[in-house]
Structure 1
Amino acid sequence: MKKIIYILSLITLSACAELTAVMETYNANAPLTENEVASGLKEALRVGTDSAAAHLGATNGYYGDDLVKILLPKEADVIVKNASKLPGGEKVIEDVVKHINRAAEDAAKEAGPVFWGAIRQMTISDAFNILKGEDNAATQYLKNSTYKQLFDLYQPKIQASLDKEIAAGISPNMSWETLTGKWNQIADNPFGKMAGLNTVNVDLDAYLTEQALNGLFVKIAEEEANIRKDPMARVNAILERVFGSSQTS
């Protein structure tokens, strides 16, 4: 009798194991639920924004990356082209470029929480539209729905970075004021006016905020495209479940 009970127990355990395996296979192949899609898209944006902020927040994150490196405003092209007319002008220009990129790198360290708040607001309907959208659909959703808020939150961080000393007695704002001040003196004098030179008046912190955010969205779009196309970029099960399914549907 004990042997019979033991054998029946083994059969029951085996059947349960097989049933569990079948159910697991079924669940893995089942259509995506609304919650899975929403969770997957939010996770993709979290991974993308974290990675982008970490990349850009590192030393040379902006300055060493030609794709997002912040150059002087186009209004300052006349200064760059005529830098030789300013004593030490070329060095001053390079100092300003480096300093404003350092300011952006400093601000990027604070970008993560700003994006996380927006990511949490994504609806299930938004998630399904993004899943079937272009390779940068999630990035565009995030940019279109949060850009003004991000700008308003990000600009004070940029301004603080611009006012922070990077070298002894030197801040990005001071470098910019030195550069434009010297140029505007030349442009404003009679000879400058005769030569058709224009003064340069740019709101540097607003310009830098726009460029820093644009660079951040560029990097987020890269991360999103990688997650959509490259299985190795899907760093956890929910990303593989959502984006693996979207490629086969």
Structure 2
Amino acid sequence: MKKISILFIVLSLSGCAEMQQVMNQFPQTQGLGLIDISGGLKEALNNGITKQVTKLTAVDGFFKNEAVKILLPDELKKVDLALRKIGLSALADEGLKVMNRAAEDAVKEAIPVFVDAVKGMSFADAKTILMGNQDSATNYLQNSTSTALYGKFNPIIKNSFTKVGADKVWTNIITKYNAIPLVKKVNPDLTDYVTNQAMNGVFKMVAVEEKNIRTNLSARTSALLQSVFAMQDKP
């Protein structure tokens, strides 16, 4: 508790002179300052992006990862069921796969967007994140970047739909479904849906690495991570 109390005293001071005075009084802070604390959190987020998000860019990175696999939206579940009833199970399976393929392809191009977003973290953000929940840094990234990221991610998903052939597959699926007598016709915005689901998957994988760093000492692979996250460990 003493270590945590010291941390909150340090984090509440805004002046460099006051910060230095506290550091001199409490050498166990090991000289960690404003840049070090925010830098450690940025490193943790970058690790999540490079170690975990990169996995999503591989073939089946989404499709065979149950934690992030993109499933059909509710309005298309009836489409899936109807196609299977008339012997088009293979087409229904392909529709699900190509949605995930589009996400896998898009994340590959979007990683630099997430990396750049991490650079905007300030010490004012960091001081509440470090002592927060196991996914506080990830939540910060999600809350502060989702709107801007959507604007950049959506056209990538749209292009990926064309690149992996998802647009043709789903045009075929919707055409065949809408031709079934008495069904209510559908025209879903799959680009919007897959964009949101892909972003959710990315943040979920970043959270995996953040939790690992917060709870697993061996995951703190640099001196900075070890020093910063030691401050949030229970004594």
TM-score, normalised to structure 1, is: 0.80
Q: Which residue of 2 aligns with 1:176?
A: 170
Q: Which residue of 1 aligns with 2:124?
A: 125
Instruction: Quote the Cα distance in structure 2 between the aligned partners of 1:48 and 1:213.
Output: 14
Please list the CA deviations of residues 137-174 of structure 1 after superposition, one character each: whole Å capped at 9, or x if unmatched.
0111111110011111111111111001x4xxxx1011
In structure 2, the gaps of 5 or more residues are 1-25
- Of 140-149 and 43-52, more deviation after overlay is shown by 43-52
Please list the CA deviations of residues 60-92 of structure 1 after superposition, one character each: whole Å capped at 9, or x if unmatched.
1101101111112210111222233334x2100
Amino acid at match of 2:171: E
Amino acid at match of 1:127: A
Please list the CA deviations of residues 38-61 of structure 1 after superposition, one character each: whole Å capped at 9, or x if unmatched.
110111111111123211011111
Instruction: Quote the Cα distance in structure 1 between the aligned partners of 2:171 and 2:128.
Output: 46
Q: Which residue of 1 aligns with 2:193?
A: 207
Please list the CA deviations of residues 223-243 of structure 1 after superposition, one character each: whole Å capped at 9, or x if unmatched.
110010001111211111111
Instruction: Quote the Cα distance in structure 1 between the aligned partners of 2:82 and 2:169.
Output: 17
1:31, distance to aligned residue in structure 2 (A): 5.5
1:183, distance to aligned residue in structure 2 (A): 0.6
**What SS does the corresponding residue of 2:233 show, helix, strand or coil?**
helix
Instruction: Quote the Cα distance in structure 2 between the aligned partners of 1:29 and 1:141.
Output: 25
* Preserved contact between residue 63 and residue 101 of structure 1 (Cα < 8 Å): yes
Q: Which residue of 1 aligns with 2:85?
A: 85
Q: Which residue of 2 aligns with 1:237?
A: 223
Distance 1:61 1:27, change over 3 A: farther
1:111, distance to aligned residue in structure 2 (A): 2.4
Q: Percent identity?
A: 38
Q: Which residue of 1 aligns with 2:108?
A: 109
TM-score, normalised to structure 2, is: 0.84
* Preserved contact between residue 82 and residue 177 of structure 2 (Cα < 8 Å): no
**What SS does the corresponding residue of 1:241 show, helix, strand or coil?**
helix
In structure 1, the gaps of 5 or more residues are 1-25
Larger Rg: 1
Q: Which residue of 1 aligns with 2:19?
A: none
* Preserved contact between residue 102 and residue 166 of structure 2 (Cα < 8 Å): yes
Instruction: Quote the Cα distance in structure 2 between the aligned partners of 1:232 and 1:173.
Output: 44
Moved over 6 A (4+): none
Instruction: Quote the Cα distance in structure 1 between the aligned partners of 2:184 and 2:71.
Output: 19
1:157 partnered with 2:156: yes
Instruction: Quote the Cα distance in structure 2 between the aligned partners of 1:79 and 1:248.
Output: 51
1:134, distance to aligned residue in structure 2 (A): 0.6
Please list the CA deviations of residues 204-226 of structure 1 after superposition, one character each: whole Å capped at 9, or x if unmatched.
11111000000111111111100
1:52 partnered with 2:38: no
Instruction: Quote the Cα distance in structure 2 between the aligned partners of 1:237 and 1:28.
Output: 15
Instruction: Quote the Cα distance in structure 2 between the aligned partners of 1:109 and 1:51.
Output: 13
Instruction: Quote the Cα distance in structure 1 between the aligned partners of 2:34 and 2:84.
Output: 61
Q: Which residue of 1 aligns with 2:204?
A: 218
Q: Which residue of 1 aligns with 2:97?
A: 98
What's the RMSD between the two structures over aligned residues?
1.7
